[in-house]
Amino acid sequence: MSDAVHLQGTEDESNSSKLKTIASRFGIHIFLVALIVMSGIISPAFLSANNISNMLLQAAPLGIVVIGQAFVIILRGLDLSVASVMATAAVIATGLSGVNADVPAIVGVSLAIGAATGLVNGLLVTKRDVSPFLATLATMIVLQGFRFAYTQGAPSGNVPPLFRVIGSETLYGIPYNLMLLAVIAVIFTVVLSRSRFGREVYITGGNPVTARLLGINADRVTIIGYVISGVLASIAGLVLSGYVGIVDNWVGRGFELDSIVAAVMGGIALTGGRGTIIGGLVGAAILIVVFNAVLLFGMPVQLQIIIKGLVIVMAAAFYVRRSN
Amino acid sequence: MLKLSNITKSFPGVRALSGINLEIRAGEIHALVGENGAGKSTMIKIIAGAYQPDGGEIEFDGHRLQAVTPASAKRAGIHVIYQEFVLFPHLSVAENIFLGYERTGRFGLVDHKQTRRDAVELLARLGVDIDPDRMVSELTVADQQMVEISKALVHKVKLLILDEPTAVISGREADLLFARLKALKAEGVAIIYVSHRLEEIFQIADRVTVFKDGEHVTTTEIKNVNREKLISLMVGRDLKDIFPPKRPAASFGKVVLKAEHITVEGRVKSASLELRAGEITGLAGMVGAGRTEMAMGLFGGLPVQSGTVTVDGETFTKMTPALAIEKGIGFVTEDRKGQGLAMQLDVASNITAANLSAVTKGGLIDHSQETAIAKQEIGKYRIACRGPATSVATMSGGNQQKVIVARWARTCRKVLILDEPTRGVDVGAKTEIYKIMNELAAQGIAILMISSELPEVIGMSDRVIVMREGVVSGELNGAEINEQAIMSLATQHTAA
Amino acid sequence: MEQTSALGSFVRRNRGLVVVVLLLIALLIFGSFYSDRFRTTSNILNVFEQSTGLALVSLGQTLTILTGGIDMSVGSMISLLSLLTSGLIDGKANLVVPVAAGILVLGALIGAINGLGIVWLKVHPLIVTLGMGALLQGIALLYSLGPAGKVPPNFKFLAYGKVLGLPIAAVFAILLFIAVALFLRYVRLGRYIYAVGDDHTGARLMGLPRSRVIIFVYTMSGICCALTSIYLVSRFGVGQPYTGINYTLASITPVVVGGTLLAGGRGGVIGTLLGAYLISLINNVLNFMDVSTHYQLIAQGLIVIAAVSIYVDKRKRI
């Protein structure tokens, strides 16, 4: 394994392999663009301002959850509790608005629920060595129980008007919730790719043992990752309740899997240490476009789920092949 | 018995084996030697069917083997005992021995009683007393190795391959192993014996083959070579060209680190040591003697039950890696991939990882500064890579190691601990790492080098501390440092 | 190491089993003191009977988890298969046997595809089975958006019938668990399940039939889902596109409560059976205490947390 031999190997890289590198690096972006172009050709209505605005409105809550999920997955974890956090934040928000609480208090309580859930997840994973899958599964179930106990099965109250505006209205055609997503995405992209904490996230996710020997408080970094995921999920729950307009016990159902799927499609490896927020958002966009196209083409809505299933497996297989 | 013709194997970016020809005879013990990374392990894995060669032919027992799989190799009578045992920790000893070849009774069902009886018999043949019902995870390492060997005896083994079998066992257990191997040889079994302990090879081997950088250097009767000749064949140059000259004892400064009565549960029992500025201290001993745990304990990487670490007059009872780094201690770990590198990150991030504060401004990382630092280190240590943004996963072992050394050389102001610094590193990088160690020592840094390679310990150390079974068994200075002295301290029996 | 007593060694190796048995006994004693009605034979038989669906699906799940994998498609598979069971029988008594047989084959087939996907694509079982789950849920909804078909009245015998005073389905479940336990202990393939879960690389170097083991366990999981579906249709009289939705995650609880490590290689099906009884019993006791189902959910979550905190996987890296 001399250096000379090694260097020879790398110099041999031809143009075709460079093309391959580009394809594998930006494959998912190219796929998204191709998907949009094809959908536009098949159905011109797809590219109408109305439809695009509609898609973006739907994309925001998923995007916000994916950002949190990205932190957790890069840290070698998985957060199955996000949908439960979303629904709990939403039912409590409407419940509180029913007793005339003001908006800052509602938002505060909701975020606190998300943060507390994330904290419990993080503590279970780091201090008790529980696998992330089970830890977040357990908090998901517990939270679900609390939610049902709180609502007694039937959520009451209305979605506060401000949430309705943020969740479903647009300014010059740009949805407010998309602006919120953009702000969150920018903040957390900076955190992940530019900040010291972000670097610690990548090192810890890539190898927790190495991280510890480098003097990084791996447990603290991991716990903060889960708290970020919990807080963002509660924000997404409020945004989604604003979009839907009414609240039931299952706001955000399916988001735990959709967010994981989007992250994996976007190149955030389940093995940890790898991936970007932009990648996760591109993954989310693909899901939204596919869902929208299925409806627009007049296909049965159930196909959405089927296509989602196929896309999950194909995307994962694509990345596995690439990393080999 | 076994004939390899023109075997080649490449991994992405690395040519592991090129055009290997080798013949192994029935009833011989054939030693295979070479530096780490010379291709020995790859060769073994190809014979065992764990890797497929890119080209060449394998002929075994008169038949040409094609598309060998681990299962087909086994059926053909090839058994490999890897350095890292292939044992299933949660299965019992008896089950491990017969895994894949279960003793079955009526209706092809597994007969647990018969399995147990046969296991007892096999273990008795090896002259060891191990409870067949114990879970393998509960056994000592030496006993685990005996379980591995007894696996080979389950069916008629024609070729037995052992990869560094004595790395984990002590002298008495090694003698037992050699006796068993000689008995197998007398039965006509061909044995390939991989070891870097040359004295053993002269003790048991009939012929020896030397590998270097993936190529077959020579095969010869053991009586035709001596120790020095063998080393120069493996290394490709004389020993004196590898190690830099030692510095005079007068140049060593005061004690900068003092570890007292360090106890790490089950591994280190109240061990103490002192490191002096500018001195290279070797920490020798058998695998499992507690060297790594001792170093980890004083760095804070493992919890210590008792003991104190004093750095520059400041005494700590609870060391943590963060504190150790802050106090100017660096640690190049033994396991490069598992504990040293962040494999998914690039060269630049790996170099700055131990001291992110140096490149952080207001919580954000200054990427241009980080890149500048990386470029500087790449030049200084001649790290072969395309640039600071190269992923470390694509680099060779030697260059990965240089990245880690560069990382710690930047942050360690007082002490640098290196655990097996040249494992899996080619000769070129090896000499460079030795040179770096020497330069750091010349700058007044105290160096603690853990190593299992005796020539390295002898060639580099100004002082050698030897550990055995968790305690410091002795210390050697200057001219006292030689192979016999180290080995006797490392293996002396309690009776002695 | 010194010799330990046989009992001590048994307890050490089967900590999960021992804990579950102690918990079961404690709950039985507590329930008996709490309520006279709890003590009745009919209530205990009821607990026994109600555990059947969960027990059956968890049986297959135990096997996948023993290999270090997981089957996240069980919920959707149960939804689809139960829908097809009642939809295809559609009240015709003469179709009961062929449809039931067909459902078992279909379950096995879906499971085998899961296994093949994991082996061929080299993708984590979590992802492959999640994908399969979505696929099956979509197909179920394409087939019908609501309850479909019906079954002849005597079909209910499977769920409610009794032999010698014991619920037939629950007895069948016990026999099946014992058969699988014996299989795991006495058949080579069963032993390899543990080996594959204990050490993937080792299994490869040893030349063990790793692919066959993986395809086998997912096939078994599919068959268990088919059995659960048939049982649920018998119990509820009809299949719905969301019948199984809660089973995906619920099926994991008895497995981990029963002491099987999520990382694989250790545990067994008897623990799972007792785990399913424990969950059924807890819900029953909470019912007697007039605790609403909402709090029962909380209790279940807390049990999972407690279970996984007790059986920490020591092999996890430092």
Contact C302 A138 (CB under 8 A): yes
pLDDT reading at B122 higher than 90:
no
Q: Which residues of C touch A209 (CB under 8 A)?
A: 317-318
- A212 lies in a domain? yes
pLDDT in tens, C94-146: 899 999 999 999 999 999 999 999 998 888 888 889 889 989 999 999 998 88
pLDDT of C2: 40
Residues 6+ apart with CB under 8 A from A111: A89, A231, A234, A235
Scan for tokens 């209205």, then name that residue. Answer: A169
Judged by DSSP in three states, B347 sits in: helix
pLDDT in tens, B164-185: 887 667 667 778 888 888 888 9
Find the closest chain B residue to A10 by CA distance: B13
Rounded CA gap, A138 and C308, in Å?
10
Contact A214 B353 (CB under 8 A): yes
Average pLDDT over residues B76-88: 84
- How many Å lie between the alpha carbon of A217 and the closest alpha carbon of chain B? 8
Token digits of residue C118: 């994991």
Residue type, C276: A
The answer to whether the beta carbons of residues C248 and C60 sit under 8 Å apart is no
- Which class for B357: exposed (0-12), middle (13-18), buried (19 or more C-beta within 10 A)? exposed
Secondary element (H or E) of residue A263: helix A255-265
**Residue B86: which of C185, C190, C205 has the nearest Cβ?**
C205
CA dihedral over C82, C83, C84, C86, signed as positive or negative: positive
Neighbours of C42 (CB within 10 A): 7
CATH number for position A92: 1.10.3470
Predicted ipTM > 0.90: no
The answer to whether the beta carbons of residues C96 and C230 sit under 8 Å apart is no
- How many Å lie between the alpha carbon of B469 and the closest alpha carbon of chain C? 16
Find the closest chain B residue to C12 by CA distance: B135
The C residues from 78 to 137 touching A (CB cutoff 8 Å) are 117, 121-124, 126-128, 130-137
Judged by DSSP in three states, A19 sits in: helix
Mean pLDDT lowest for which of A150-154, C175-179, C188-192? A150-154
pLDDT in tens, B328-346: 999 999 888 788 888 888 8
pLDDT in tens, chain A (324 residues): 333 333 333 333 445 556 666 666 677 788 888 888 888 888 888 888 888 888 888 899 999 999 999 999 999 999 999 999 999 998 888 888 776 668 888 889 999 999 999 999 999 999 888 888 888 988 988 898 888 888 877 777 777 888 888 878 878 878 888 999 999 999 999 999 999 999 999 999 988 889 999 999 999 999 999 999 999 999 999 999 888 877 777 888 889 888 988 998 888 888 888 899 999 999 999 889 888 888 888 788 788 888 878 877 787 777 766 654
pLDDT of C88: 94
Most confident of the ranges B161-170, B475-484, C87-96? C87-96
Find the closest chain B residue to C4 by CA distance: B134
Rounded CA gap, B262 and B299, in Å?
11
Residues 6+ apart with CB under 8 A from C16: C257, C258, C259, C260, C267, C271, C311
- How many Å lie between the alpha carbon of C42 and the closest alpha carbon of chain B? 39
Judged by DSSP in three states, B415 sits in: strand
Do B2-238 and B241-491 fold alike per CATH?
yes
Neighbours of C29 (CB within 10 A): 10
Q: Does B363 touch chain A (CB under 8 A)?
A: yes
Rounded CA gap, A7 and A5, in Å?
6
- How many Å lie between the alpha carbon of B96 and the closest alpha carbon of chain A? 28
Rounded CA gap, B287 and C71, in Å?
41
Interface test with C, best of B99, B130, B155, B292 (most C CBs within 10 A): B99
pLDDT of A21: 62
What is the 8-class DSSP label of residue B346? Answer: B
Which of these, C67, C19, C60, lies nearest to C261 by C-alpha position?
A: C67
**Model-level pTM?**
0.81
pLDDT in tens, C221-262: 999 999 999 999 999 989 999 889 889 888 998 998 888 888
Secondary element (H or E) of residue B187: none
Find the closest chain C residue to B112 by CA distance: C186
The C residues from 244 to 283 touching A (CB cutoff 8 Å) are 249, 252, 256, 262-263
- Per CATH, the number for C20-310 is 1.10.3470
CA dihedral over B119, B121, B122, B126, signed as positive or negative: positive
Q: Parse chain B into domains and list their residue ranges.
A: 2-238, 241-491
- All chains having 3 or more CB pairs closer than 8 angstroms to chain C: A, B
- A16 lies in a domain? no
Token digits of residue B125: 């043949």
pLDDT reading at B450 higher than 90:
yes
Alpha helices (H) along B49-126: 70-76, 93-98, 112-125
Confidence of residue C12 (pLDDT cuts 50, 70, 90): low
Token digits of residue B139: 């056994």
pLDDT reading at C22 higher than 80:
yes
Judged by DSSP in three states, B381 sits in: coil
Which of these, A114, A245, A239, lies nearest to A178 by C-alpha position?
A: A239
pLDDT of B170: 66
- How many Å lie between the alpha carbon of C267 and the closest alpha carbon of chain B? 10
- All chains having 3 or more CB pairs closer than 8 angstroms to chain A: B, C
Q: Which residues of A touch B322 (CB under 8 A)?
A: 215-217
Report the mean per-residue pLDDT for chain B. 86
CA distances from B263 to B184, B293, B296, B332 (A): 42, 9, 11, 21
pLDDT of B315: 92
The A residues from 177 to 216 touching C (CB cutoff 8 Å) are 208-209, 212
How many Cα neighbours within 13 Å face the side chain of B136? 24
Rounded CA gap, B188 and B25, in Å?
9
Residues 6+ apart with CB under 8 A from C256: A134, C262, C275, C304, C307, C308, C311
Contact A306 C123 (CB under 8 A): no
The answer to whether the beta carbons of residues B344 and A273 sit under 8 Å apart is yes
Q: Which residues of A touch B299 (CB under 8 A)?
A: 213
DSSP code string of B112-125: HHHHHHHHHHHHHH
Mean pLDDT lowest for which of A91-105, A118-132, B471-485, C300-314? C300-314
Contact B90 C194 (CB under 8 A): yes
pLDDT reading at C10 higher than 80:
no
Rounded CA gap, C21 and C19, in Å?
6
- How many Å lie between the alpha carbon of A211 and the closest alpha carbon of chain C? 11
Which of these, B389, B392, B383, lies nearest to B344 by C-alpha position?
A: B392
The answer to whether the beta carbons of residues B288 and B470 sit under 8 Å apart is no
Judged by DSSP in three states, B364 sits in: strand
Find the closest chain B residue to C195 by CA distance: B88
Find the closest chain B residue to C206 by CA distance: B70
Q: Does A299 touch chain C (CB under 8 A)?
A: no
Interface test with C, best of B72, B88, B91 (most C CBs within 10 A): B88
Scan for tokens 């092999």, then name that residue. Answer: C315
Average pLDDT over residues B347-359: 89
Contact A206 B342 (CB under 8 A): yes
Query: Between residues B429 and B168, which one has the greater pLDDT?
Result: B429
Average pLDDT over residues B253-274: 90
**Residue B345: which of A9, A202, A213 has the nearest Cβ?**
A202
Dihedral of CA atoms B300, B303, B305, B309 in degrees, nearest 10, equals 0
Token digits of residue A314: 């194909």
**Residue C198: which of B72, B91, B338 has the nearest Cβ?**
B91
pLDDT of A19: 61
- A309 lies in a domain? yes
Interface test with B, best of C67, C185, C187, C201 (most B CBs within 10 A): C187
Query: Between residues A266 and B427, which one has the greater pLDDT?
Result: A266
How many Cα neighbours within 13 Å face the side chain of B11? 16
Rounded CA gap, B34 and B179, in Å?
24
Neighbours of C8 (CB within 10 A): 10
pLDDT of C97: 92
Judged by DSSP in three states, A100 sits in: coil
The answer to whether the beta carbons of residues A164 and A245 sit under 8 Å apart is yes
Domain B241-491 CATH superfamily: P-loop containing nucleotide triphosphate hydrolases (3.40.50.300)
Confidence of residue C316 (pLDDT cuts 50, 70, 90): very low
- All chains having 3 or more CB pairs closer than 8 angstroms to chain B: A, C
Report the mean per-residue pLDDT for chain C. 86
Phi, psi angle pair for A207, to nearest 5°: -165, 100
Query: Thinking of the domain B2-238, which architecture would CATH place it in?
Result: 3-Layer(aba) Sandwich (3.40)
Scan for tokens 């957390």, then name that residue. Answer: A188
Scan for tokens 């005896």, then name that residue. Answer: B153
Rounded CA gap, B323 and A214, in Å?
10
Domain count, chain A: 1
- A8 lies in a domain? no
**Residues above pLDDT 70, as percent of chain B:** 96
pLDDT reading at C274 higher than 90:
yes
**Residue A1: which of B14, B321, B344 has the nearest Cβ?**
B14
Query: Between residues C36 and B271, which one has the greater pLDDT?
Result: B271
Residues 6+ apart with CB under 8 A from C82: C229, C230, C232, C233, C239, C240, C243, C244
The B residues from 387 to 446 touching A (CB cutoff 8 Å) are 394-399, 426, 428-429
Scan for tokens 């692919």, then name that residue. Answer: C211
- How many Å lie between the alpha carbon of B303 and the closest alpha carbon of chain A? 12
**Distance between the two ends of chain C, CA-based, in angstroms?**
24
Instruction: Give the rounded distance of the alpha carbon of C47 from its chain centre.
Output: 16
Rounded CA gap, A245 and A258, in Å?
21
- Which class for B455: exposed (0-12), middle (13-18), buried (19 or more C-beta within 10 A)? middle
pLDDT of B14: 65
CA distances from B430 to A73, B443, B446 (A): 38, 20, 20
Phi, psi angle pair for C128, to nearest 5°: -60, -45
